[in-house]
């Protein structure tokens, strides 16, 4: 990574900033099953209309979702499903960390019971 330019690193950081918001992750997860309009996303995520619209705009600007007008509605869909590969990688790492914490906790409990 030492050969990556500062500009490229800034773009990577911006990408992860987009993914660092729980509501945006909820919207992405909602869209995993297929294209939806704002109303459907609101129902699935239990977020308000203004909130959903704001997060969709950010996700679209980051290139994570595509916006497709269909008649009087606009449908949103995942631009590149590989985003979920990234999420699965993070989840796997978090699972490993959690398992280590559980083992450490069990070891501490065993010590205090002696």
Mean pLDDT by groups of 10 residues along the chain of 114 residues:
85 95 97 97 97 97 96 96 93 91 86 75
Q: What's residue 67's pLDDT?
A: 97
Q: Give the pTM.
A: 0.81
Task: Provide the pLDDT for residue 93.
Answer: 93
Contacts with 85 (C-beta within 8 Å, 6 or more apart), sequence order: none
Shared-domain flag, residues 87 and 65: no
Indicate whether 67 and 36 sit together in one domain: yes
Domain CATH for 34: 1.10.10.10
The span from the CA of 64 to the CA of 71, in Å, is 23
- pLDDT given for residue 114 in this prediction: 66
Same domain, 96 and 112: yes
Q: Residues 73, 96: one domain?
A: no
Domain range spanning residue 111?
Answer: 82-114
Q: Do 72 and 103 share a domain, yes or no? A: no
Q: How far apart are CA 2 and CA 99, in angstroms?
A: 31
Q: How many domains does the chain have?
A: 2
pLDDT confidence of residue 5:
92
Give CA–CA dist 104/99, Å, rounded: 9
Q: Are residues 16 and 34 in the same domain?
A: yes
């Amino acid at each position: 990574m030492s050969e990556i330019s500062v500009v490229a690193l800034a773009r990577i950081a911006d990408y992860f900033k987009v993914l660092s918001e729980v509501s945006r992750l909820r919207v992405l997860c909602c869209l995993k099953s297929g294209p939806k309009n704002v109303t459907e996303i609101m129902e699935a995520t239990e977020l308000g209309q203004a909130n959903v619209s704001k997060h969709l705009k950010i996700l679209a600007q980051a290139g994570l979702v595509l916006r497709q007008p269909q008649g009087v509605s606009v449908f949103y869909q995942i631009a590149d499903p590989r985003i979920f590969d990234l999420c699965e990688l993070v989840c796997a790492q978090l699972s490993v960390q959690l398992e280590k914490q559980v083992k450490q906790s069990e070891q501490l409990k065993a010590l205090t019971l002696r």
